[in-house]
Amino acid sequence: MEPGETREPQEPREPGPGAETAAAPLWEEAKTFYDNLAPKKKPKSPKPQNAVTIAVSSRALFRMDEEQRIYTEQGVEEYVRYQLEHENEPFSPGPAFPFVKALEAVNRRLRELYPDSEDVFDIVLMTNNHAQVGVRLINSINHYDLFIERFCMTGGNSPICYLKAYHTNLYLSADAEKVREAIDEGIAAATIFSPSRDVAVSQSQLRVAFDGDAVLFSDESERIVKAHGLDRFFEHEKAHENKPLAQGPLKGFLEALGRLQKKFYSKGLRLECPIRTYLVTARSAASSGARALKTLRSWGLETDEALFLAGAPKGPLLEKIRPHIFFDDQMFHVAGAQEMGTVAAHVPYGVAQTPRRTAAAKQAPSAQ
């Protein structure tokens, strides 16, 4: 068209055959492109009463050895100053870190299958740190892309009183005295320890191993061994084979794991379930194993695997299982697990703990 010319208005044309069909894929492609540019929306935190709540201390989730040394040797003011000066430096992962990552992997699977359900793991950071330290903790959590929305920072006071308010199913801490306080309050709790060496664990399946007596079960049988010896214990277990043992401090946590497992089973995913549980006990199968299994059955519970070691060391078996965490009431079993690269947690419950309580009470306080 030459300059100065005008074009007569034309009637709009009808789109040719197939035009809409051709445009649709282009629109969907563009929408997908812009959706991928948008920040990913994190899932909504569940109500505490609907979830399986796992409370972890800051020293359980992250390595804070240098910070703890400053706290112990130089006091709280220097500790807070150091944390503020280093708040943009993320902490290194601590002993509970792989466990927490495995919990989040299970949550992703659960949300795929049950998008509207709040019956998932809810992780709470429970620490007696001061609020000023919270920025470094938040930065570290964001650095590792952890989904931890609930914090409880008590500014030097014990966080134990808040555990029931959060409907806590399990409390993990590096502070043995705080764990004992939680156990005394009827809350499942354990002192977590770093392994002596790093061992790769599953990225797709949460694996939790439990001792039996004084962990899942009461310490009834251990009291008999301590008072009367093994022969009497075997006689007692045989005579009471059909009488369920009383529950121990972590029975409720196994129950919660079993409830989540059944959500996968109901979808036909028993063999692909991302939660696997183990009973690893010093009991002998022939002489005292039946009562343990019948007790679990009476509770409507089960473990995926049951290993009766008849007094043999647990460390080598745990090295093969590679659990994210192993719970035991005996420190020598905890130490044996650590040596083989297992994250182990001590449950301070039952008759085996009595001699240690007085000495432990004299320990200096710690920053969690």
Tell me how far CA of residue 333 lies from CA of 175, 184, 187, 312, 315, in angstroms: 19, 22, 22, 10, 7
Nearest-angstrom CA–CA distance, 197 and 255: 31
Which structural domains are found in the chain, ordered by start? 52-191 (3.40.50), 206-349 (3.40.50)
Give pLDDT, residue 130. 82
* pLDDT above 60: residue 315: yes
Nearest-angstrom CA–CA distance, 168 and 124: 9
Nearest-angstrom CA–CA distance, 208 and 246: 21
* pLDDT above 60: residue 106: yes
Task: Note whether 336 and 352 are within 8 A (CB).
Answer: no
Give pLDDT, residue 173. 97
- Give the β-pairing of 325-328 and 344-346: parallel
Which amino acid would we find at residue 55? A
Among the residue ranges 20-24, 56-60, 170-174, the one predicted with the least confidence is: 20-24
229 band by pLDDT with thresholds 50, 70 and 90: confident
* pLDDT above 60: residue 71: yes
28 band by pLDDT with thresholds 50, 70 and 90: low
Nearest-angstrom CA–CA distance, 340 and 200: 12
Mean pLDDT for the chain overall: 86
Is 211 designated active site? Answer: yes
* Structure confidence by residue, pLDDT tens digits, 242-296: 999 999 999 999 999 999 999 999 999 999 999 999 999 999 898 889 999 999 9
Q: Is the dihedral of CA 164, 170, 174, 176 positive or negative?
A: positive
Catalytic residue, chosen from 211, 219, 328, 329, is: 211
Distance of CA 329 to the CA centre of its chain: 18
Q: What does R_g of the chain's alpha carbons equal in angstroms?
A: 27
